[in-house]
Amino acid sequence: MSDPASVRVIPGGPVNGEIRPPGSKSLTNRALLCAAFADGPSTLTGALRSEDTEVMIEALRQIGIPIEISEGGLTLSLGGRVSQPQDRNSEHHELFIANSGTTVRFLTAALSAAGGNYRLVGVERMHQRPIEDLITALIPIQEGNIAAESPSGCPPVLIQSDGWNCESICVAGSVSSQYLSGLMMAAPIAAIRTRSPREILVRGELVSMPYVKMTAEVMRRFGGAIEIIECDNVPENNVPKSNVPENDATATTVRVQVDANEYQGIQYAIEPDASAASYFWAAAAITQGRITVNGLTPGAMQGDVGFCEVLRQMGCEVETGHDSLTIVGRPLHGIDVDMNAISDTVQTLAMVALCAQGPTRVRGVAHNRFKETDRIGDLAVELRKLGAIVTEHSDGMTIQPPSDGIRPAVLETYNDHRMAMSFSLAGLVADGVEILNPGCTVKTYPEYFADLEKLIGRAHHWRT
């Protein structure tokens, strides 16, 4: 069957129920990478099967990592590292990374550290998404060539590497935290052939900090030893930094201390995806319903569980269970909120803002312009179609909800899964919201619209 051209969610009353979303994309791709370079086999349970994890799995298979898939796709068994270290003249591998930021950034760092001859190629949008700061960090430490081929430092990425030779790495973190996460996970991999760097320094702003803490946590589970030190004035350990220009006055904001412990194969259970959960929590919020998400608590490894706190600030009740988080919808009011740490939930929040009293100001997410689409500019365009008055800011937006209710509209998704999933929320409360290209949820949640149908107990209108 061909992909549907559009979908309309049929509005109704309060959304009540419980759900366990599929596994976390971020945790699945981290665990896959650590397991691939571990000594001994690993088993990952509750994994996400979607485009973003599929491209990671296929790329790892292509470079010789055996991966078996069972339990309807949810359990991944990896044989661990089998091949000998490669060098820049070894067999060339062309790896397809679609539009997966985690895959391209994690693999760039890991393959540069491991050594070999690779080209990472994505879809058109991926070739417009930045990776230059990561390449700049790798050039001085990698033996061989590494380059981003598209103009202004975007993939495809060419890696011809004999591994790393460094004590210290410097990286910028204002565009994406995935560069730092990639370097962190690659550090123990470098030790397999040469030696591991002792520290990674972040110069200037670092966005999306919870993902960096998640990286450290996953690495520790696989036996890696890593410490994140956040400070205004980082003690720099006197490690020689050949890669910092002499008169560079940019402040070091974060220092990551690395020990070269090799990854060990383990059994690892992946949490449900908290960014995916945000749509269900928001559905309860805007319909005055009650939704329990199982498998997530405030102590989850994913920062996006923090979205519940944002909903609480807007008026909802939050209930914490032994292994669940419940949102109870109440009358909503707009807020002024910094979403830097939980930027994947900005589109979800925008839909909640449409149903609140008074304006909502979102701050701290300038980096949202570099994601699957420009998630500030393009989001503003679609919100206006729904009747909101939107002011765009360099770091976010102000959303004034429509005074006469959400208007019928045909909404573009820009091939961004989070646009499609968020817009379904407007469809829960207003007639005539048509979402184009809903199949783009395949990136992280192929079954999203089917799961929503089950939860609300009524079928959507699909157009092919």
Q: Which residues are catalytic?
A: 344
CB of 341 vs ligand PEP, minimal distance in Å: 14
Report the site for ligand PEP in 437-456 (rule: CB under 6 A): 444
The interface with ligand S3P within residues 206-225 (CB under 6 A) comprises 207-208, 211
Taking a C-beta distance cutoff of 8 angstroms, is the pair 21, 273 a contact? yes
Q: Which is nearer to ligand PEP, 173 or 387 (CB)?
A: 173
Which amino acid is it at 292?
T
* Nearest in space to 461 (alpha carbons), one of 3, 8, 2, 6: 8
Separation of alpha carbons 445 and 58, rounded Å: 18
For ligand PEP, how many residues bind (rule: CB under 6 A)? Answer: 9
Q: Tokens 């259970």 appear where?
A: 269
Pick the binder of ligand PEP from 23, 46, 101, 182 (CB under 6 A): 101
Instruction: Compute how many other C-beta atoms are within 10 angstroms of the C-beta atom of residue 9.
Output: 26
Residue list 141-200, contact with ligand PEP (CB under 6 A): none
Residue 375 beta carbon to ligand PEP: minimum distance, rounded to whole angstroms: 8
45's CB contacts (< 8 A; 6+ apart) are 71, 74, 75, 267, 268, 269, 270
Q: Does 53 bind ligand S3P (CB under 6 A)?
A: no
100 contributes a contact to ligand PEP by CB under 6 A: yes
Euclidean distance between CA atoms 149 and 132, whole angstroms? 10
CB-wise, 101 or 116, nearer to ligand PEP?
101
Among 50, 100, 102, 292, binds ligand S3P (CB under 6 A): 102
Q: Which residues, 242 to 271, sit near ligand PEP by CB under 6 A?
A: none
Q: In what order do the strands lie in the sheet with 225-230?
A: 168-173, 199-206, 252-259, 225-230
Q: Is the peptide bond before 359 cis (omega within 30 degrees of 0)?
A: no
Based on CB atoms, which residue is closest to ligand S3P, 343 or 348? 343
Least gap, CB of 237 to ligand PEP (angstroms): 31
Any contact of residue 160 with ligand S3P (CB under 6 A)?
Answer: no
Give strand ranges (E) for 330-432: 336-338, 360-363, 389-393, 396-400, 409-411
Among 177, 196, 243, 437, binds ligand S3P (CB under 6 A): 177
The span from the CA of 320 to the CA of 300, in Å, is 12
Q: Is 44 helix (H, G, I), strand (E, B) or coil?
A: strand
Q: Which residues are annotated as a binding site for phosphoenolpyruvate?
A: 25, 101, 129, 178, 375, 418, 443
User: What are the binding residues for 3-phosphoshikimate?
Assistant: 25-26, 30, 176-178, 208, 344, 371
Residues 6+ apart with CB under 8 A from 10: 427, 458, 459, 460, 461
Measured CA to CA, the distance from residue 432 to residue 430 in angstroms comes to 7
Closer to ligand S3P by Cβ: residue 88 or 367: 367
**Which among ligand S3P, ligand PEP, none contacts residue 418 (Cβ within 5 to 8 A by kind)?**
ligand PEP
Closest to ligand S3P by CB, 100 vs 287, is 100
Contact residues for ligand PEP, defined by CB under 6 A: 99-102, 344, 371-372, 418, 444
Instruction: By CB under 6 A, name the binding residues for ligand S3P.
Output: 26, 101-102, 176-178, 181, 207-208, 211, 343-344, 367
